[in-house]
Chain A
């Protein structure tokens, strides 16, 4: 540990104060911090844009009780509380979706935040007597899911982490991508003297390998450390200049391995813990968006990778179990929603299977989370509904298909997307090539009727995430 006792104590005090403030807010019921995360291309930006648009216009959320009961009066965007965090560019993303030639917005690169205030009539009789209207301030925090995948690093030391990463790199699906890096590692002696240029070269090779993984067609997602891919303001800093090395017991102080271990600890401390403290620990509710369909497209390696990534993500939500998260303390997330996005890319009758498939990935850890008191749900949703379900005629049989405009084309087509299995155990090793879900682009004229962007089950997601606070 690079920090002294005093630093730890001050830190704990700060966390306790934050936790108390959060508890007070929760009791007063006036503000709620909602974290939105998901791996790359899972649809975080579109999700937040659509949620804001739909809350502001309140025309397409019939299953949100506050809306259907006529209790939601109005919503408006407000200046956000954290001056150092970039604001979520709602107007820009919305303009892109509603343009004459609409396209999907750019991806999340770092944390951003936006605040929306909801004014509503309380449902409870007693509360209605006290105030005729109440306000819920909803802070939506958007951050890359890759950062969440770093959290399990906190529970590992450098040797254990290196072993896991090197095993993963040599495994199926990744071996061709990691060849250059692994060959370099093989020629090195970790117990040799530390050398900045070697460290930098290794880190560059490792980063290149991670980039290749992410760009690969199989969509590998468990990539640690996440900041190597999204460095933000830390570009080139020493905390980002390390790589996994095969552990040697003989490596003493001053060796390459010692330097790497030191930087690994610094990364944990300055990057992972800081993110946890400043963002994650302050969340009340969390949505994790998962692009199940892309993983299915990628076949068995993609699915195995998704399972690992989800398990690592879930690790972050295990509260109060006395693990390292208990050490981090503070008030905790009490509702987690796992949503399979892009549900509009399959026929509507398949949505139940899509949600069941996602749940089957989470089957193991779900029990632990529910046991610890947090509520967890899975849903199949589409933040923006880009297709319609139609019946196509196939040899005299009606076949539920989707109609939409595929990416890179101009005219709508009708596609039979195939069937989604209800559990990932039903997918054998022959999955490669079995699934081929088409990507669609947003149709022109979205939301022109002024009722909000068309969506699938955004109202159910909101009901679960904020519905109880609108009571």
Chain B
């Protein structure tokens, strides 16, 4: 069968698909808005509005009655009410700022990823300034910021600029974050090994994980706030599987095997180690999610290293 060449059109380019492929995995793109729970959201929102209005009415009623009783009491009560509203507003503003900042970090990471994939020139300089701007007010980062400014020239291309930013600005943060994760993981491993009850174990793991999250997020970008923490936690749960922390299959096997061998020695110790590894895994995911740039291949923190450090724990004498 033959066709007239004049009537054939070029096949559609597949570049867009290739770029998308490059974007998933390590990049952790922001999750698409979820549609399934819309009804539930409407329910929650309307209930919250109802409660808010009811509380407002009640408060207004209360203040009115207090004024009827004595203007002094009314004044004090209305002052308290104003204070409550004011502090709530302040709190909400702070939360919103923290939330916005986390979102900004996400956007930075996505932009860095597409810049790295494109490998052009001139696009990374504004990105680098924004990343540096995240840490502008911090005294401990001033030296790294100066070093970055000094080492950048107009000749660096996008990939080199990203590499430089990682090596100069983020490397000390990476080291500090890794130490935080390792410390939390040790705490949990030791704590669960020593704790007498399973309930206490769970409480310890939960409390230490939340603390670690706030520590890591605070180190990289800003204190995430309550709302931000919740969002971070949710995104972490969805991303733990997807990101996979780039651990190869064999290290997972080794992990399981390592725990198994130790388990034969002491089930209590094994439980501690598993809990410790769980916290470490959550901590490393938090590092990926809070970092303003995606990890370069060779800079990624490895769960294997943490496992080794944990296995060395029983041998340590102090």
Contacts and interface: CB of A to CB of B under 8 A. Distances in A.
The 3 closest A-B pairs by CB, nearest first: A62-B151, A349-B121, A68-B167
Interface of B: 119-122, 150-151, 153-157, 160, 163-164, 167-168, 171
Interface string A368-403: 000000000000001001001100000000000000
Contacts of A385: 153, 155
A62 B164 contact: yes
A60 B151 contact: yes
A263 B103 CA distance: 76
B121 A351 contact: yes
Contact of A352 (B151, B157, B163): B157
A63 B160 CA distance: 8
A140 B3 CA distance: 63
Given A60-B151, A63-B163, A385-B155, A68 B168 contact: yes
A348 B121 contact: yes
Contacts of B153: 385, 454, 456
Given A349-B122, A352-B119, A344 B155 contact: yes
A350 B156 CA distance: 11
Contact of B155 (A62, A382, A451): A382
16 contacts: A62-B164, A62-B168, A63-B163, A63-B164, A63-B167, A65-B167, A68-B168, A69-B171, A344-B155, A348-B157, A351-B157, A352-B121, A352-B157, A388-B154, A389-B154, A456-B153
Contacts of A344: 155
Interface in A86-110: none
Nearest to A389: B154
Residue of B150, B151, B168 contacting most chain A CB atoms (<10 Å): B151
A44 interface: no
A457 interface: yes
A343 interface: yes
A359 to B, nearest CB: 14
A71 B167 CA distance: 13
Residue of B154, B157, B167 contacting most chain A CB atoms (<10 Å): B154
A222 B121 CA distance: 35
A388 B155 CA distance: 8
Contact of A351 (B155, B164, B167, B171): B155
Size range of the chain A interface in the assembly: 20 to 34
A133 to B, nearest CB: 21
A382 B151 CA distance: 16
Contacts, number: 45
Residue of B120, B151, B155, B156 contacting most chain A CB atoms (<10 Å): B155
Nearest to A460: B160
Given A389-B155, A457-B155, A62 B119 contact: no
B130 to A, nearest CB: 20
A176 B208 CA distance: 83
A385 B151 CA distance: 14
A204 to B, nearest CB: 46
A456 B153 CA distance: 8
Interface string A61-90: 011010011000000000000000000000
Contacts of A451: 150
B226 to A, nearest CB: 37
Contacts of A351: 121, 155, 157
A63 B162 CA distance: 11
Nearest to A381: B155
B316 to A, nearest CB: 16
A348 B155 contact: yes
Nearest to B154: A389
A348 B155 CA distance: 5
Interface string A444-471: 0000000100101100100000000000
A351 B154 CA distance: 12
B155 A68 contact: no
A456 B121 CA distance: 14
Given A457-B155, A460-B160, 8 more contacts: A65-B167, A68-B171, A69-B167, A348-B121, A348-B156, A382-B155, A456-B155, A457-B160
Nearest to B308: A125
Interface in A335-382: 343-344, 348-349, 351-352, 382
Contacts of B160: 63, 457, 460
Contacts of A348: 121, 154-157
Nearest to A68: B167
Nearest to B152: A62
B272 to A, nearest CB: 24
A388 B168 CA distance: 23
A344 B171 CA distance: 29
Contacts of A352: 119-121, 157
Contacts of B122: 349
A68 B249 CA distance: 32
B241 to A, nearest CB: 31
B163 to A, nearest CB: 6
Nearest to B119: A352
A460 B161 CA distance: 13
B199 to A, nearest CB: 39
A456 B152 CA distance: 10
Nearest to B148: A62
A62 B166 CA distance: 11
A376 to B, nearest CB: 19
A343 B155 contact: yes
A352 B155 CA distance: 11
A300 B61 CA distance: 92
Contacts of B155: 343-344, 348, 351, 382, 385, 389, 456-457
B308 to A, nearest CB: 10
A440 to B, nearest CB: 14
A389 B119 CA distance: 18
